[in-house]
Amino acid sequence: MTHTFDKSKLPSRHVSVGPERAPHRSYYYAMGLTEEEIARPFVGIASAGNDSAPCNTTLDHQADIARVGVEVGGGMPRRFNTITVTDGIAMGHQGMKSSLVSREVIADSIETVVGCEGMDGYVAIGGCDKNMPGCMIAIARMNRPAVFVYGGTILPGCVGPEKKDADIVTVFEAVGQHANCKISDKQLADIEEHSIPGEGSCGGMYTANTMASAIEAMGMSLPNSGAQAAVSNEKLIDCFDAGAAVMNMIKRGITPRDIMTKEAFENAITLIITLGGSTNAVLHLIAMAHSAGVKLGIEDFVRIGKKTPVLADVKPSGKYFMNDLVKIGGTVPLIRILVNEGLMHGDCLTVTGKTMKENMKNSKIVWPKDQQIVRPLSNPIKKDSHLVIFKGNLCPEGAVGKISGKEGLSFSGKAIVFESEETALQAILNDKVKKGHVIVVRMEGPKGGPGMREMLSPTSAIMGKGLGKDVAFITDGRFSGGSHGFVVGHVTPEAFVGGPIAVIKNGDPITIDAEKRSITLGIPAKELKARLAKWKQPKPRYTRGVLAKYAKLTSDASHGAVTDLGL
């Protein structure tokens, strides 16, 4: 098939057109390209594939399939890799400080390659918590035709004599059960060996599946890309179609900022609320919007959350795994319902070149009538959002909680304070944390940590110890999408810059009220002011390298923890 493109207005003209670019073309000939192939648009295939964890091991093969889609569409694919880290392996130790930092490194690296190599568009393929928003931040910054492909979800594991379905959170919570003598060494070994059976991203509505759903609702991936198994024919078709779709965008002059509008971000927020998604979506969507030049803040999550119910009974707070949603037809039927009922904007453009409403009308996917995973709007799990934006004298610039309602809507208790995640985890495992405690973990914010570590290990230990309904947890760090219970993170201002969380003392009364969206440190205002006046900023934990640079540049959590705010 012959395709003709006028490269005079495409970025690749700078590396392939005219006599003065003869040296550049020599490199392409050295890689086996023909004159005709050099005349095509150059399309990047950005893969976050590596062998660090099952989340990313399929991505390079998927990238090869996307290459074919680009070729059939008339483009010349140029594959490259970006770095990625995996939160599950980084969890619970100092390595987790690099996780959120990697989002910025990934965005910077993709922007660097696409810009340097003069690519006319690209397909970005990610499968873990930070490479997905990292890809999207780069896409928004560059504003060249692009499609995101989600690597796909993992299948459930199978553990115990009852052959129960399991996933990675099953293993983290088993650590607490083991410490509480509820399971044996042999049972723990069985759980760790059989909970995650193969390739794909963590199997609940944790951060990876949350962000995949958000990107799909935004219109930046193809329909149902966010709800497919990593190892499936459907995912390979999605990869091929993404390559063809980016070529269509180049032909029609459609760019990401035509799609990533304020209304598109509102669609993303709406879908992740109905699915019971991760608190990390607040951080990442604000960062992505910043890169797209869209004004989005924590107040938008409050506004949309008031009218959007939780419908999906999925883990971590619910019963079902992501693959259960995949098996009944994925997210397309839910998006169709939300568009038809006016909860999502149907007139938003998508990477198909059609509107969201047109995509839903053209899709033949419907759920079985007897499915139990997603409730109807008339019978929600929760009538409004589980993502609660808090304010109050403890977090005057915001905090984010995931309150399903199962743990109650308010909690009052006495503070037990820790200066790191590790010390909190050991206190939980050693039974120093008691019923009625509000666990406070500070110096884990964007600057203080640095990097906002996720607290999956301590929250899972709480669940394993049977304290899920008896304690609360607040931090200036973050929570994994797998965390559940009465947990509030992203406390702003963080401890490192002198936020009120820095001066909490053991035994201070704290009240968390999800209905009023407030967190109150129960000491007199005069006492709080006096403590803050005596506070002195600690020295940075890092003075060289990527963590030091991130700590120096990052914004606060309420502004997405981005590194280019105000530049």
Residue-wise pLDDT tens digits, 458-508: 998 998 899 989 999 999 999 887 777 789 999 999 999 999 999 999 999
**DSSP secondary structure of 503-537:** G--TT-EEEEETTTTEEEE-S-HHHHHHHHHH--P
Strand ranges of the sheet holding 399-402, from the earlier edge strand across to the other edge: 387-390, 399-402, 486-489, 472-475, 437-441, 410-418, 509-513, 518-521
Q: In terms of Cα–Cα distance, which of 105, 156, 206, 110 is closest to 454? A: 206
Position 404 scores a pLDDT of: 84
Would you state the pLDDT for residue 82?
97
Q: Provide the 8-state DSSP code for 558.
A: G
The answer to whether 103 and 133 are in contact (CB under 8 A) is yes
Enzyme catalytic residues: 480
CB of 138 closer than 8 Å to CB of 61: no
User: What pLDDT score was predicted for residue 175?
Assistant: 86
Phi and psi for 515 in degrees, rounded to 5?
Answer: -70, -40
CB 456 within 8 A of CB 479: yes
Please give, one letter per residue, the 3-state secondary structure of 381-403: CECCCCEEEEECCCCCCCEEEEC
- In order of 288, 321, 450, the CA distances from 120 in angstroms are 21, 38, 36
Q: How far apart (Å, rounded) are the C-alpha atoms in residues 433 and 560?
A: 31
User: Given this model, what pLDDT does residue 484 score?
Assistant: 79
CA-CA distance, 82 to 549, in Å (whole number)? Answer: 19
Distance CA 536, CA 152 (A): 46
Task: Say whether the peptide bond before residue 316 is cis (omega within 30 degrees of 0).
Answer: yes
Rg (CA), the chain: 24
Backbone angles phi, psi at 356, to 5 degrees: -60, -45
Q: What is the pLDDT of residues 69-84, one digit of tens each?
A: 999 999 999 999 999 9
pLDDT at position 3, please?
60
Q: If the chain, 567 residues long, is cut into consecutive pieces of 10 residues, what is the mean pLDDT of each piece?
A: 77 97 97 96 97 94 98 97 92 92 98 98 95 98 98 94 89 87 93 94 94 98 98 98 98 97 98 96 98 98 98 94 97 98 98 98 96 98 96 98 86 97 95 97 98 92 90 94 86 98 98 96 98 97 97 98 95
